[in-house]
Amino acid sequence: MQHHFPTLDTAGLDLVQQQRQKVLRNTYWLLALSLLPTVLGAWLGLSTGITRGLSGGLGLIVFMVGAFGFMFAIEKTKHSAMGVAVLLGFTFFMGLMLSRLIAMVLGFKNGSELIMTAFAGTAGVFVVMASLATVIKRDLSGLGKWLFVGVIVLLVGSVINVFIGSTAGMLAISTAAIAIFSIYMLYDIKQIIDGGETNYISATLSLYLDVYNVFQSLLALLGIFGGERD
């Protein structure tokens, strides 16, 4: 007696593969596009000084409310064109929030070099993780919960450090953030390749947060270690 098991034929597999490639391609395009409002937001923050007063607890509240509000809105609109607009609004807001750190780094004699170094370093990490994601055959979905726990610990540490203002704390948090979000990049890209993430707006949000956090943490570390005063 023959058993007929349902199998995906080659054409079906090709179709699945094409679909995943399309999500990945759209994600990369939208990620590149999302950097424009980020730069615009950072420039606006720098030129107007609008975020200068957002230090300590107030800055934290504005950031948390804004970021989580936008993320909630992105999740709600991710199946429509509106999702792209909300995502770009979010990246503008994140650029605005980044302007305080950029202003601080630009206060150093070699500030603009440090910013370029952080940008090049972040791009390097992204290229390495994107390449790794295409060659690693293992399923990495089990990493998700560990990375999530890591992010929660980071968040708690960051909130505490806002009030303590410890440089050593800042160093530890920035170093841990670079490690966690670099691995998160690998995880998020692998999820798209393996079909675990099929919505390119959600995928872009995840990758954007990875890139943003690596850049911000690298910049903070470079500012602490490499900042030259006049």
Among 92-96, 98-102, 166-170, which stretch is predicted with the lowest mean pLDDT?
166-170
* Average pLDDT value for residue range 84-102: 94
Look at residue 230 and tell me whether its pLDDT is greater than 70. Answer: no
- Is 195 in contact with 75 (CB distance < 8 Å)? no
H-run or E-run covering 117: helix 111-135
According to DSSP, residue 227 is labeled P
Amino acid at 201: I
Residue found by looking up tokens 């809105």 in the block: 73
The span from the CA of 72 to the CA of 8, in Å, is 36
Residue 143 domain-assigned? yes
Residue 96 domain-assigned? yes
How far CA 125 is from CA of 43, 69, 118, 132, 136, in Å, comes to 24, 28, 11, 11, 16
Residue 2 domain-assigned? no
Domain count, the chain: 1
Residue 4 domain-assigned? no
Model confidence at 199, pLDDT cuts 50, 70, 90, reads: very high
Q: Which tokens belong to 218?
A: 């690298």
Residue 194 domain-assigned? yes
Residue 11 domain-assigned? no
Average pLDDT, the chain: 89
According to DSSP, residue 160 is labeled H
> How high is the pLDDT of residue 56?
63
* Average pLDDT value for residue range 34-52: 90
> How high is the pLDDT of residue 139?
86
Model confidence at 29, pLDDT cuts 50, 70, 90, reads: very high
The span from the CA of 166 to the CA of 37, in Å, is 31
* Structural domain that includes position 206: 16-226
What's the whole-model pTM score? 0.89
Look at residue 15 and tell me whether its pLDDT is greater than 60. Answer: yes
The span from the CA of 173 to the CA of 210, in Å, is 15
Model confidence at 195, pLDDT cuts 50, 70, 90, reads: confident
Question: pLDDT digit string (tens) for 103-142?
Answer: 989 998 998 999 999 999 999 999 999 999 999 988 888 8
Model confidence at 1, pLDDT cuts 50, 70, 90, reads: very low
